[in-house]
Amino acid sequence: MKFKANLAWIDGAWASNVFLESDVQGFWTHIQTNATDAESQGALALGCVIPGLVNAHSHAFQRAIAGLTEHSDRSGDDFWSWRDRMYRVALRVSPDHLESIATWLYSEMLRSGYTHVCEFQYLHRNPDGHEYADPSEMTWALVRAAENAGIGLTMLPTLYMNQGFGQPGLNSMQRRFASTPDSILNLQQAVLRHAKINSRQSNLNAGVAIHSLRAVALAEIVGLTSQSGSAPVHIHIAEQTKEVADCLAHTGLRPVEWLLANANLDARWNLVHATHASASEIQGIQAQQASVVICPTTEANLGDGFFNLTEAMQQSMRWSIGTDSHVNRNWSEELRLLEYGGRLSLRKRNVALLHKNGCGSTGQVLFENAMQGGSQAAGLPMAGIAIQQRADLLEIDLESDSLLGVPSERFMDALIFSTPSNNFKSVFVAGKKIEHNSVQWRADFVKTMAEL
């Protein structure tokens, strides 16, 4: 596929009259700036384009409760009471429900500029807690949803074995999560075989996930990650202060501290949340080339706290963003809240630039970091408009309210910090334009919501 963009975001800056060419596998093979009409003959004409971003943490089924947990009939509502309500919905979602929820969700993500999603999937069994005839039934529902919508997908079948620190086995509300290292590896391999057979390896990948330290013991963590190859490894970590306190009481170490000491972290690892990571722990994450997945709107919605962005930037730690529970499905809002959390904590502006003596573009720094970290989280080459990276593009609507009158050199700042958020005129994944069947997907989603 050939494209000619008036403006394109390349290497952290805007380039003009950019000729782009992708191969049949969906990767960039040719990039030329200041191209003439003759040099770009036959190319699809586009306006202003940027790379797509990876949504590095998703629980698709939780889209069904977005906006429905903001009413409380008790005092002291917190993450743990929210979790009980989430469990009740998790026990009712069928494979068909999951597919319709995820298809609509993934179409929302594409419209808002995510071109790939990392699906942290722990709904493995049927509502009674028994295996489906095909143990991959719920996994295939998500794969089909991604294929229908056109988004790239990294499946992360998730190991979940214990109900808490020192509490082996699962409780009745967690019965659908039951799994073993072998069952998770089988799910991972099934997805990888599907990708290879169907020639979808450019936009379908599979890693593994560990739900949390409270849910999986050391021997199983090591057993799983030692056999999962070079694919991404994701884990929830240090999201809540209670989790930190419980880990300290059980192990004598804080969660990230324990992981650094015991789990042989490397560049495959993506630590989801790490909300309460200390400065020394952030330094340790960076030293072992691991990454953090930050989910600002979910962390705000659940009352988790603020991630220490300024320390992470100072340490040059890699990070990505995710929408987690999907109370928001827009990356500009995630990046804006991430920056605003730092501003509210420090009572300063442009805190993402503090490691650069306060100079530069905050929007540019946030976007570039989220893009690079997202590629690591997905385990695929998605680090921007560059040779051998996946050919994902977002064509910006320059007539949107947020960009009216804004000079082009400030577009990235305005995309993130001026609301209402920008809509994209067109979206391309692996060189192919995404077409939306939004009427049918919307109807299916509404029907599923009514049934649930």
Active site residues: 273, 324
User: Measured on CA atoms in the order 67, 68, 69, 75, is the torsion positive or negative?
Assistant: positive
Q: Distance between CA atoms of 257 and 280, rounded to whole angstroms?
A: 9
E-strand ranges in 303-355 read: 318-321
Residues contacting residue 130 through CB under 8 Å, at least 6 positions apart = none
Decide: 139 and 191 in contact? Cβ < 8 Å: yes
State the distance between the two ends of the chain, measured CA to CA, in whole angstroms: 42
CA–CA distances in Å: residue 137 to residues 61, 140, 269: 14, 5, 26
CA–CA distances in Å: residue 423 to residues 56, 108, 403, 419: 21, 11, 11, 11
SS (H, E, C) 258-312: HHHHHCCCCCCEEEEECCCCCHHHHHHHHHCCCEEEECHHHHHHCCCCCCCHHHH
**Cis preceding linkage at 181, omega within 30:** no
Decide: 116 and 203 in contact? Cβ < 8 Å: yes
Residues contacting residue 275 through CB under 8 Å, at least 6 positions apart = 238, 239, 240, 299, 304, 305, 306, 307
The secondary structure of 222-239 as a DSSP string is HHHHTTSTTS-EEEEES-
Token pair listed for 175? 């019965």
Q: Distance between CA atoms of 223 and 225, rounded to whole angstroms?
A: 6
Question: Among residues 325, 296, 297, 323, which one has the least CA distance to residue 309?
Answer: 296
The alpha carbon of residue 149 and the mean position of all alpha carbons in its chain are separated, in whole angstroms, by: 16
Residues contacting residue 13 through CB under 8 Å, at least 6 positions apart = none
Q: Distance between CA atoms of 445 and 100, rounded to whole angstroms?
A: 5
CB atoms within 10 A of CB 381: 15
